[in-house]
Amino acid sequence: MDHKVVITAALTGAATRKEQNPNVPYTKEEFVAEAVKCYENGAAVVHLHARDPKTGMPTPDIEIAAGIVEGIRERCPILINVSTAIGVGVTKEQRIAPIAAIKPDMASLNTGTMNFSLADHKTGEIIFDFVFENTFDQIRKYAKIMTENGVKPELECYDIGHIHNILLLQKKGILEEPLHFNFVFGVAGGIRFLMDYIVAMKNSIPKDATWCTCGVGPNSFQANMAAIVMGGHLRVGLEDNLYIRGKELAKGSWEQVAKAADMARMLDRELATPDEARIILNLPTKKADSPYGVSGD
């Protein structure tokens, strides 16, 4: 199973909007249809930030998030990874609340406080300036809640120092091992994609850890191609990249999943099913018992 690749589809994120790409889902029906298409094209995991269906803004509303999770679980066995970043203006308590309420298969766990901004890399203009707070105390508390609820954390690392934050906290055993990391490239305030950096990040994590990678905009498929070669897993989706190639808009996150799947197959890495992903990513053997259904049942 070692050679198999797990593809995650990140459908929305906190920032992308229909004005930029009309295929960003806002309603439950749009989320479910998009998740099913991602599954059909090879994704084993879907990463979710719920949106207010009327405004399209990210929302901490648990009923909305739960409705989306339930709708996806009714239609396909894809594993569900819920964001604990959600969006700008969401409180620390609101960010973690869906974990105990929904008990998704996985959740993002952000690993350091940082500038999390939007910039024009050509001109150096900072378009949107924002501090993303993830203190050690907060990371520890979120990790505890995830562990108690049987939810596998995906450790979002936007720089190599974030890996060291986790290794420091892990001296006290805050997380069940093996750990699972996501190396994120291209956030203004984080590391940009370079082969040297991804090699350094991979070499910094424990030998038994699993990892995937995603990148903002043009960093997306570059990082994923490197991960295919280096034995990592992939994340694509309209959350971080609106395009399929150049300035051509993607028809949906599913089209990026299909492209990533082709890239992986080209290098003889087969795609993991959700059941296989559960094993590869070392999800808890006992599936979280969620009132909103269980993936794969």
Would you say 105 or 240 has its CB closer to ligand KMH? 240
Selected binder of ligand KMH within 83, 111, 213, 273 (CB under 6 A):
83
User: How far apart are the C-alpha atoms of 145 and 164, rounded to whole Å?
Assistant: 21
Interface positions, 166-185, toward Zn ion (CB under 5 A):
none
**Where does this chain touch ligand KMH (CB under 6 A) — which range of 1-9, 57-65, 77-85, 167-175?**
77-85
Kindly state the number of chain residues that form the binding site for ligand KMH, as judged by CB under 6 A: 11
Please tell me whether residue 59 binds ligand KMH under the rule CB under 6 A. Answer: no
81 binds, among ligand KMH, Zn ion, none (CB under 5 to 8 A by kind): none
- For position 134 contacting Zn ion by CB under 5 A, the verdict is no
Which of 46, 10, 79, 33 minimizes the C-alpha distance to 288?
79
- 275, 296 Cβ separation under 8 angstroms: yes
Asked if 159 is part of the footprint of ligand KMH (rule: CB under 6 A), the reply reads: no
Residue 138: CB atoms within 10 Å: 17
Rounded Cα distance between 218 and 199, Å, is: 19
- CA nearest to 291, candidates 62, 94, 92: 62
Q: Which of the choices ligand KMH, Zn ion, none does residue 110 contact, using the CB cut-off of 5 to 8 A by kind?
A: ligand KMH
Residue 88 or 279 having the CB closest to ligand KMH? 88
Binding mask 101-120 for ligand KMH (x = CB under 6 A): -------x-x----------
With CB under 6 A as the contact rule, the residue among 240, 242, 261, 274 that binds ligand KMH is: 240
Q: Which amino acid is at 55?
A: T
Q: Note whether 83 binds Zn ion by CB under 5 A.
A: yes
* Residue 256 near ligand KMH by CB under 6 A: no
- 83 or 295, CB closer to ligand KMH? 83
CA dist 142 → 64, 96, 116, 174, 243 (Å): 21, 7, 20, 10, 32
List contacts with Zn ion (CB under 5 A): 83
List contacts with ligand KMH (CB under 6 A): 13, 83-85, 108, 110, 156, 184, 187, 239-240
